[in-house]
Every structure is written in structure tokens, then in C-alpha cells.
Copies of this chain bind each other. A is one copy, B any other.
Amino acid sequence: MTESSERDARHKARMARKKALIDEKIAQAQDEYGLLLVHTGNGKGKSSSAFGMVARALGHGMKVGVVQFIKGAASTGEENFFRRFPEEVSYHVMGEGFTWETQDRQRDIEKAQQAWVVARQLLNDPGIGLVVLDELNIALKLGYLELDAVLADIEARPLLQHVVVTGRGALPGLIEAADTVTEMNLVKHAFKAGVKAQQGVEF
């Protein structure tokens, strides 16, 4: 596809979702649809809160998909725990070897795009009630993924599917598209006082 036909396809997908939302709304007259939530800011709890929502969703009998865009950024504790439920949680840790310092930007872009392929599969699966895109904001901020393409895929998801995007520095376009945005701000942190990272809390 050329770039412009790709853009048209995305626009079409977005409009189709908008129309489907409206049709669905009229049918249900209940405003029930999947939300797009963004957790951003410099404080703690962006990912933890998404994983709390995973527990909540599982408690409601939903299936959940998780893609971690930065390997090692989130806790191995959550991964260990939620991998206990392979029937209920589809858990993917991507982004291995992200340099963060863009020593090999092209390679990082490829890794991010591989992760997005996995994310898109989850976003296409109506059997999944909640998709967590952990640290996606970082990949977007670094320009490893194009916001427009990412938003089109998110907006084309099944009507009742919820999506949570985490990470510092959420792009304005993502905030605009989101239903709910929470900024986690640091008031006080033990690290600052020289306490080392604690297993079970920090990682």
C-alpha cells in the first residue's frame, strides 16, 4: 500500500468504528463501550494500576491481553503471577534489547513494530475484554511507532474492548483520543531518600 492509501484505510477504519459506536449506542441506549485509558506522569503506579485492572477484569470473567513494549520496564512479579493463567491472560514481553539511547535506532524501530503486530492481534480479538499496552507511550515518544497508525488500530478494536496505555510522556494526540487520562505524580519517593528498590514493591 502507498502511504496515502494506508492513511485512507486508517481513516475508514476509524470512521467505521465511530459509526459502529453510534449504531451500538442507539441500539443499547446505554453508552456501553470499551474505554481507552491512559496512565501517564512521573509518579509510580502507571503499570501497577493497569495490572490491578487486569485482576479486576479477570474477576469479571474477561480475558485479557498484555503487551509490554519495554522488556524489564515492568515488574517480573506481575509477569510471573499472570502467566499462571494462560487460558485467561495472553502475556507478551517484547522490546528486548531496546537501547533507550538509540544506538541502533533502526533495530529498535523494528522491535517496536514487531511488538505492535502482537498488539494488533489482541486489538482484533473480540474474545479479549481488556488489552494492556504497557510502556507504549515510550515507543510513541521516541517515534518508533506512528501515533496515527496506532490510534487507527486502537479505534478499530471490538466495541466492548477496553484498552489501557501506560508510560511517561503520553503524546497529546493520544490524550485527546482517550476516554480517561490519569496522571500519576510523585509526591515523595523512598528512592530519593537513598532506599534501594524493594522486591514486591518496585519490581
Q: Contact: B182 with A57, CB < 8 Å?
A: no
Known pairs A54-B55, A55-B55, A129-B200; A185 contacts B188 (CB<8 A): no
Q: Contact: B180 with A183, CB < 8 Å?
A: no
Contact partners of A2 in chain B: CB under 8 A: none
Contact partners of A129 in chain B: CB under 8 A: 200
Q: For the side of the interface on A, what is the size category? A: 35 or more
Binds B, one of A70-78, A106-114, A117-125, A148-156: A70-78
Scoring A residues 172 to 203 as 1 if CB is less than 8 Å from chain B, else 0, what string do you get?
00010011111111111110011110111101
Contact partners of A77 in chain B: CB under 8 A: 55-60
Majority SS at the chain A contact face? mixed
Q: Contact: B62 with A81, CB < 8 Å?
A: no
Q: Contact: A185 with B187, CB < 8 Å?
A: no
Contact partners of A49 in chain B: CB under 8 A: 44-45, 48-49, 52, 184
- Residue from B31, B55, B78, B179 in contact with A78 in the complex, judged by beta carbons closer than 8 Å: B55
The yes or no answer to A4 lying at the interface (CB within 8 A) is no
Distance in angstroms from A184 CB to nearest chain B CB is 6
Contact partners of A195 in chain B: CB under 8 A: 31, 33, 35, 179
